[in-house]
């Protein structure tokens, strides 16, 4: 039963996860934290951090991690990871087959045009949803947030920033 | 013609293993996912293996960002299918997924053991607000780059209200945006043609 739920949740994430990268986060959070309760919001934030410093897309990393923690088995990991990749597999093959019809279709272009601002909204929602008391525990959290925000805006490497924030946490708390 | 037939024979000489190992490499060495992967994909697929020329690569770029799902996964499927149909698509997909699957599985196994460890908890107390900042920065960048029109701004705002304030699933936002775009296009083409 849990395997079916895992499959369905991550299949949905794969199917509706437009825009790549962070735009998929609010969708993962909705399914995994809000609906299924497989992770707490703090756990979810930890995994996003782990995804940043390990290779591979966030959607795959989350699927593998949640699949394991929800079932305590490698099978759960495999089920969730396969489920999140299946929509990509079928849709990309479909696009490859009908590439000419797809490329010049005005409806596809129009849909993508309205999706773009919606995706900006989804990434903003992800940031807002994660701005809660379990991630911001005291004033130091806000200092770390501000520092990393400015540094990341100035294009400092995110992996470096995460490692630095981790060291700050270790020293301060 | 000779060049064409050479390219053709090269494509069919190559086996699924080559596809798998190339994408395994891409999956292993790209941190942060998505756009970070693209330079390495270009290096391997266009320059080294020459499976795609620059033009085909550029076209692939726009297609993989159109489809749902992670960009690296979409690229793997697209290239694999182009070279070897389903066998190729599955080889590339497996190759690009396996490195992160193995690494995250090891972390998941270890992390369930050390999650309550006070040192690990301290480290993540520092990291969590940093993660929120890393997600917030691209929002600012995208707003600056897209130079939002007021209707686009409204769509973005609506999506924030629905997902963040009202707790709706982002699925509805995605579906709504797609339907709105299609209906708008239908209405404008209909009024153009008398």
CB B31 within 8 A of CB A49: no
- Domain residue limits, chain A: 2-135
User: In this structure, are residues A85 and A17 in contact, taking their beta carbons and an 8 Å threshold?
Assistant: no
Q: Tokens 């700050």 belong to which residue?
A: A168
Residue linked to tokens 């290096």: B43
B2 band by pLDDT with thresholds 50, 70 and 90: low
Could you say which residues from 66 to 125 on chain A have a Cβ atom under 8 Å away from some Cβ of chain B? 68-69, 72, 74, 77-78, 81, 84-85, 87-89, 91-93, 95-96, 99, 102-103, 106-118, 120-125
| Cβ contact A60:B97 at 8 Å | yes
The per-residue pLDDT for B5 is: 62
User: By percentage, how much of chain B surpasses pLDDT 90?
Assistant: 50
Q: Whole-prediction pTM value?
A: 0.88
Q: How far apart are CA B63 and CA B96, in angstroms?
A: 18
Per the CB < 8 Å rule, is A15 touching B67? Answer: no
**A146/B contact by beta carbon, under 8 A:** yes
Run of H or E residues at B32: none
Residue A67 in this model has a pLDDT that exceeds 90: yes
Reported confidence tier of residue B167, pLDDT bands at 50, 70, 90: very high
Cα–Cα distance, B166 to B96 (Å, whole number): 36
Tell me which residue of A96, A82, A88 sits closest to A15, measured CA to CA: A88
Residue closest to A43 by CA, chosen among B122, B101, B115, B32: B115
Select from A8, A45, A49, A55 the residue whose CB has the most chain B CBs within 10 Å, as the one to mutate to test that interface.
A55
Per the rule left: phi > 0, alpha: psi between -120 and 50, beta: everything else, B34 is left
Contact A162 B131 (CB under 8 A): yes
Confidence band of B34 (pLDDT split at 50, 70, 90): low
Domain spans of chain B?
2-114, 149-194
| pLDDT score, position A139 | 95
Instruction: Give the ipTM of the model, two decimals please.
Output: 0.91
- Both tokens of residue B165? 């304030």
C-alpha to C-alpha distance for B132 and B76, rounded to whole angstroms: 29
What pLDDT is attached to residue B32? 62
What is the phi-psi region of residue B67: left when phi exceeds 0, alpha when psi lies from -120 to 50, beta otherwise? beta
Query: How many Cβ atoms are within 10 Å of A19's Cβ, its own excluded?
Result: 22
Residue count (chain B):
194
The pLDDT tens digits of the residues spanning A31-50 come to: 999 999 999 999 999 999 98
Interface touch B163/A30, C-beta < 8 Å: yes
Confidence label for A103 from pLDDT (cuts 50, 70 and 90): confident
Instruction: Say if CB A140 and CB B109 are below 8 A apart.
Output: no
pLDDT at position B59, please?
85
CB nearest B136 (choices: A74, A102, A127): A127
Per residue in B92-102, pLDDT (tens digit) is 999 999 999 99
């Amino acid at each position: 039963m849990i395997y079916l739920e895992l499959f369905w949740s991550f299949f949905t994430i794969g199917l509706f996860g437009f825009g790549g990268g962070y735009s998929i986060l609010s969708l993962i959070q909705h399914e995994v934290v809000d609906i299924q309760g497989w992770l707490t919001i703090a756990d979810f934030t930890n995994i996003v951090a782990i995804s940043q410093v390990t290779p591979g897309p966030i959607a795959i990393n989350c699927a593998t991690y949640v699949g394991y923690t929800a079932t305590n088995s490698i099978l759960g990991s495999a089920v969730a990871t396969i489920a999140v990749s299946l929509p990509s597999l079928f849709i990309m093959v479909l696009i490859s087959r009908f590439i000419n019809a797809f490329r010049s279709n005005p409806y596809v272009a129009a849909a993508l045009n309205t999706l773009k601002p919606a995706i900006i909204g989804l990434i903003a929602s992800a940031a807002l949803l994660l701005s809660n008391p379990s991630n911001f525990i005291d004033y130091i959290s806000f200092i770390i947030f501000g520092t990393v925000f400015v540094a990341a805006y100035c294009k400092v490497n995110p992996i470096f920033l995460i490692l630095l924030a981790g060291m700050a946490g270790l020293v301060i708390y | 013609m000779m060049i064409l037939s050479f390219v053709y024979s090269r494509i069919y000489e190559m086996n699924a293993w080559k596809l798998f190992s190339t994408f395994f490499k891409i999956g292993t060495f790209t941190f942060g996912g998505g756009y970070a992967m693209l330079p390495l994909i270009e290096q391997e697929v266009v320059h080294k293996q020459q499976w795609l020329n620059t033009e085909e690569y550029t076209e692939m770029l726009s297609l993989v960002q159109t489809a749902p799902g992670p960009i690296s996964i979409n690229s793997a499927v697209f290239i694999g299918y182009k070279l070897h149909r389903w066998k190729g698509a599955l080889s590339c997909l497996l190759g690009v997924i396996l490195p992160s699957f193995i690494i995250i599985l090891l972390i998941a196994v270890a992390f369930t053991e050390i999650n309550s460890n006070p040192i690990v908890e301290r480290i993540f107390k520092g990291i969590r607000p940093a993660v929120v900042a890393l997600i917030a920065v691209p929002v600012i960048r995208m707003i600056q780059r897209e130079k939002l029109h007021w209707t686009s701004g409204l769509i973005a705002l609506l999506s924030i209200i629905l997902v963040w304030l009202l707790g709706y699933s982002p699925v509805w936002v995605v579906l709504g945006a797609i339907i709105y775009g299609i209906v708008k296009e239908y209405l404008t083409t209909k009024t153009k043609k008398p």
